């Protein structure tokens, strides 16, 4: 029993241990130089990532409140990897920040929240994990303490997340009223298709839709992404979004499986709106972070296509896409983060002539953007290909056509940025940036990930194998 406890909970326990080590460093030890602390933390996060691959087992704990399996461990490892990349990338920003340790404490507690959310087998744990992964994140969004925009972003984030969890909770309370249980297994036995049951499902979906910023619920996204510090933005757009997609996939398939005909249409509407609005707004953005915010909204629309697949192909294509999305989006955000923390520039126009001064960084950004756009040799193409393939299994060709048109539309704005990087010139381009070794490692991981997952299709087969067993 005790051994089970340590093995099944190992990923949560390692994160908690790191959290407490940081707390003790903060309270107890004399001021340490920031560089040493950051390197120690990166080493710890690396160990945490490695530990995630050991002793993988399936099982459940705490009277079925917590469950884990090989798939769930894999998802957690993905989140660990993303956190490590972000930590490496934000080296320059944190070096001069007074509260670097607190940044990591809050980030790790949100990571812990996502772990519990993914592992939840109960609506109570789902809700608690969701809150643990958003409330500290709102505090993180305020970490540019002197900047007004940062505080505004934090406030918008906490109010919109409170509103969405209000909707989610009302839905959960009705589900509890109908079924008398919060356990997923019991709910899945026959989710009520009565009008009230559907209504509470809509409330749940709306609550989660806020967190993934699907379109009618996306209004907070761009402001928060622009105002928050870049590392927090990349964390929000990749890690927390990815975690919620993992949960959404398992919720829709396992818990709401028997009303799948109904939610198929809702996901259809959400997806089409999300793609179109995300792309149209991305066209007219001038700020790099807002641009990436809307482009990530558009990507959400694509992921929703995969979700509608409703089979092992659906879930594995979503998880595979999130793996690729993690590398590509973090690659792009890494460069923006580096430029913003060294020079303070964030506009697309500022990036004109970037290739002349920083050829290597331009290539990293270009490869990431190509992958986001889904251009063939990069991994992004295969990601979107599998998503569309899973969606096409249902035979809804209108949806696939809209998606294809949107891919063309998105090419335009990704290429606009690439043209600014490589072909346009300006009087004073961004000076040469010395990245330092830790952001460089992050870039190597991202580009390597994009190329490797693009060239070898092993990734998809590997993820697919979890569902076949």
Nearer to another protein, 112 or 252 (CB): 112
Q: d(Cα 223, Cα 408) in Å, to the nearest integer?
A: 26
Considering only residues 13, 34, 51, 163, which one is a binding residue for another protein as defined by CB under 8 A? 163
Show Cβ contacts of residue 244 under 8 Å, excluding neighbours closer than 6 positions. Answer: 117, 130, 208, 211, 212
Nearer to another protein, 121 or 341 (CB): 121
Which DSSP state fits 61? E
Q: Min. distance of Cβ 57 from another protein in angstroms? A: 18
Range in contact with another protein (rule: CB under 8 A) among 75-83, 162-170, 333-341, 421-429: 162-170
Count of residues making up the chain: 469
Asked whether the beta carbons of 453 and 323 are under 8 A apart, the reply is: yes
Cβ atoms within 10 Å, residue 58: 13
Helices (H), 235-353: 241-250, 260-283, 288-307, 312-343
**Is there binding between residue 17 and another protein (CB under 8 A)?**
no
**Is there binding between residue 230 and another protein (CB under 8 A)?**
no
> Of 65-84, which residues contact another protein (CB under 8 A)?
65-66
**Is there binding between residue 344 and another protein (CB under 8 A)?**
no
Nearer to another protein, 55 or 62 (CB): 62
Show Cβ contacts of residue 242 under 8 Å, excluding neighbours closer than 6 positions. Answer: 78, 79, 82, 322, 325, 326
**Is there binding between residue 260 and another protein (CB under 8 A)?**
no
**Is there binding between residue 188 and another protein (CB under 8 A)?**
no
Helices (H), 90-213: 91-95, 100-119, 123-141, 148-179, 184-188, 195-212
Q: Min. distance of Cβ 7 from another protein in angstroms? A: 16
Question: Site for another protein (CB under 8 A): how many residues?
Answer: 64
Considering only residues 13, 40, 152, 411, which one is a binding residue for another protein as defined by CB under 8 A? 152
Range in contact with another protein (rule: CB under 8 A) among 98-106, 428-436, 441-449, 461-469: 98-106
Show Cβ contacts of residue 236 under 8 Å, excluding neighbours closer than 6 positions. Answer: 137, 141, 224, 225, 228
The angle formed by the CA atoms of residues 81, 82 and 83, to the nearest 5 degrees, is 90
**Is there binding between residue 286 and another protein (CB under 8 A)?**
no
Show Cβ contacts of residue 178 under 8 Å, excluding neighbours closer than 6 positions. Answer: 192, 194, 196, 197, 200
Q: d(Cα 416, Cα 421) in Å, to the nearest integer?
A: 9
**Is there binding between residue 142 and another protein (CB under 8 A)?**
yes
Nearer to another protein, 16 or 357 (CB): 16
For the record, the structure tokens of 267 come out as 């996901």
**Is there binding between residue 269 and another protein (CB under 8 A)?**
no
Q: Min. distance of Cβ 366 from another protein in angstroms? A: 28
Which DSSP state fits 197? H
**Is there binding between residue 3 and another protein (CB under 8 A)?**
no
**Is there binding between residue 154 and another protein (CB under 8 A)?**
yes
C-alpha distances in Å from residue 353, one per residue of 19, 86, 370, 429: 42, 26, 18, 6
Range in contact with another protein (rule: CB under 8 A) among 45-53, 136-144, 234-242, 448-456: 136-144
> Of 395-434, which residues contact another protein (CB under 8 A)?
none
Counts for the chain of helices (H) and strands (E), in that order: 22, 2
**Is there binding between residue 143 and another protein (CB under 8 A)?**
yes
Nearest to 289 by CA among 345, 327, 343: 345
**Is there binding between residue 174 and another protein (CB under 8 A)?**
yes
Nearest to 274 by CA among 315, 233, 213, 223: 213
**Is there binding between residue 199 and another protein (CB under 8 A)?**
yes
Nearer to another protein, 16 or 356 (CB): 16
Q: Min. distance of Cβ 112 from another protein in angstroms? A: 6
Point out which residues bind another protein (CB under 8 A): 16, 19, 61-66, 99, 102, 105-106, 109-110, 112-113, 116, 124-125, 127-129, 131-132, 135-136, 138-140, 142-143, 145-146, 148-149, 151-152, 154-155, 158-159, 162-163, 166, 169-170, 172-174, 176-178, 180-182, 194-196, 199, 219, 222-223, 226-227
């Amino acid at each position: 029993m005790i051994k089970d406890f340590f093995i099944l909970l190992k990923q949560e326990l390692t994160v908690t241990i790191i959290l407490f080590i940081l707390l003790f460093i903060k309270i107890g030890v004399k001021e340490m130089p920031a560089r040493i602390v950051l390197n120690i933390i990166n080493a710890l996060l690396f160990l945490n990532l490695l530990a995630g691959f050991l002793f993988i087992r399936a099982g459940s704990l705490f009277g079925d409140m917590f469950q884990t399996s090989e798939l769930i461990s894999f998802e957690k490892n993905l989140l660990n990897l993303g956190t490590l990349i972000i930590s490496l990338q934000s080296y320059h920003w944190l070096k001069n920040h007074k509260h670097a340790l607190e940044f990591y404490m809050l980030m790790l507690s949100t990571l812990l929240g996502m772990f519990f959310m993914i592992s939840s087998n109960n609506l109570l744990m789902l809700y608690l994990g969701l809150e643990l992964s958003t409330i500290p994140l709102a505090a993180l969004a305020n970490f540019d303490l002197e900047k007004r925009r940062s505080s505004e972003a934090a406030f918008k984030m906490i109010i919109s997340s409170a509103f969405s969890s209000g909707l989610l909770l009302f839905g959960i309370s009705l589900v509890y009223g109908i079924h008398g249980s919060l356990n997923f297994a019991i709910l899945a036995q026959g989710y009520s298709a009565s009008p009230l049951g559907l209504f509470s499902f809509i409330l749940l979906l709306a609550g989660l839709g806020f967190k993934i910023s699907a379109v009618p619920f996306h209004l907070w996204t761009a402001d928060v992404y622009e105002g928050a510090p870049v590392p927090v933005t990349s964390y929000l757009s990749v890690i927390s979004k990815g975690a919620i997609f993992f949960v959404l996939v398992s919720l829709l398939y396992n818990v709401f499986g028997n009303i799948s005909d109904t939610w198929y249409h809702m996901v259809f509407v959400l997806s089409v709106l999300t793609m179109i609005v995300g792309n149209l707004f991305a066209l007219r953005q001038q700020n790099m972070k807002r641009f990436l915010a809307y482009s990530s909204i558009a990507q959400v629309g694509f992921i929703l296509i995969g979700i509608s697949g409703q089979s092992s192909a659906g879930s594995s294509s979503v998880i595979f896409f999130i793996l690729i999305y993690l590398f590509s989006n973090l690659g792009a955000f890494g460069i923006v983060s580096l430029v913003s923390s060294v020079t303070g520039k964030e506009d697309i126009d500022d990036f004109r002539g970037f290739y002349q001064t920083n050829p290597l960084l331009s290539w990293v950004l270009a490869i990431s953007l190509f992958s986001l756009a889904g251009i063939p040799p990069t991994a992004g193409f295969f990601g979107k290909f599998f998503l569309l393939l899973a969606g096409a299994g249902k035979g809804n060709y209108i949806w696939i056509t809209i998606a294809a048109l949107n891919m063309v539309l998105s090419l335009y704005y990704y290429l606009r940025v690439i043209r600014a990087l490589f072909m346009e010139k300006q009087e004073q381009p961004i000076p040469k940036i010395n990245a330092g070794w830790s952001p460089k490692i992050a870039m190597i991981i991202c580009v390597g990930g994009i190329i490797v997952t693009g060239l070898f299709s092993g990734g998809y087969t590997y993820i697919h194998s979890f569902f076949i067993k």
